[in-house]
Chains A and B, each alone.
Chain A
Amino acid sequence: MAGEGEEWIVVFESTHAALAAERAARRAGVPVRMSPVPRRISTDCNTGMRVPREHRHGLELVLRGANVECRFVPLDPETRH
Chain B
Amino acid sequence: MNIVYLDHAATSRTKPECVYRAMDRFMREIGASPGRSAHAPGLAAGRVVADTRRAAAALFGVADPARVVFTLNCTQALNLALRGLARPGSDVVTTSVEHNSVMRPLTALARERGLNLVFAAADEEGMTRPGELAKRLTGRTSLIVMTHASNVTGAIQPIDEWGHLARERGVPFLVDAAQTAGCLPIDLSRLPVDLLAFSGHKGLLGPQGTGGLFIREGFDPEPLMHGGTGSASSEIAQPAWLPDRYESGTPNTPGLAGLGAAIGFLLERGVASVRERVCAVGEALAAGLAGLPRVRLYGPRGMDANVGIFAFTVDGADPAEVASALETRHGIMTRVGLQCAPCAHRAMGTFPSGTIRAGIGYGTTMADAETLVNALRVL
A interface residue numbers (CB < 8 A to B): 13-16, 18-20, 23, 34-37, 43-48
Contact = CB atoms under 8 A, between A and B. Distances in A.
Contacts of A37: 38
B354 to A, nearest CB: 43
Interface string B33-75: 0111110001100110010010000000000011000000000
A16 B36 CA distance: 11
B50 A35 contact: no
A15 B38 CA distance: 9
Contacts of B241: 13-14
Interface residues of B, number: 24
A11 to B, nearest CB: 11
Given A14-B239, A45-B231, A46-B233, A34 B43 contact: yes
Contact of B233 (A19, A44, A48): A44
Contacts of A45: 230-232
A14 B233 CA distance: 10
Given A20-B50, A47-B43, A47-B46, A15 B35 contact: yes
B45 to A, nearest CB: 10
If over half of A's interface residues share one DSSP class (helix, strand or loop), that class is named, otherwise mixed; here it is mixed
A7 to B, nearest CB: 15
Contacts of A36: 37-38
A77 B180 CA distance: 55
B243 A16 contact: yes
A73 B233 CA distance: 19
A80 B103 CA distance: 57
Interface string B204-245: 000000000000000000000000011111100001011110
A13 B50 contact: no
4 tightest CB-CB pairs across the interface, nearest first? A15-B35, A43-B234, A36-B38, A47-B38
Contacts of A18: 46
A13 B37 contact: no
Contacts of B50: 16, 19-20, 23
Interface string B136-157: 0000000000000000000000
Given A14-B229, A16-B50, A16-B243, A34 B234 contact: no
Nearest to B242: A16
A46 B38 CA distance: 7
A13 B231 contact: yes
Nearest to A45: B231
Given A16-B244, A19-B46, 15 more contacts: A14-B239, A14-B241, A15-B34, A15-B230, A16-B50, A16-B243, A20-B65, A36-B38, A37-B38, A43-B232, A43-B233, A45-B231, A45-B232, A46-B37, A47-B43
Interface of B: 34-38, 42-43, 46-47, 50, 53, 65-66, 229-234, 239, 241-244
A37 B232 CA distance: 12
B237 to A, nearest CB: 13
A33 B359 CA distance: 48
B40 to A, nearest CB: 9
B46 A35 contact: no
Contact of B66 (A16, A43, A44): A16
Give the most central of B36, B50, B66: most A CB within 10 Å: B50
A34 B244 CA distance: 20
Contacts of A13: 231-232, 239, 241
B230 A46 contact: yes
A32 to B, nearest CB: 12
A43 to B, nearest CB: 4
B206 to A, nearest CB: 20
12 contacts: A13-B231, A13-B241, A15-B230, A15-B231, A19-B50, A20-B50, A34-B38, A43-B234, A44-B232, A45-B231, A45-B232, A46-B38
Contacts of A19: 43, 46-47, 50
A15 B244 CA distance: 9
A23 B229 CA distance: 21
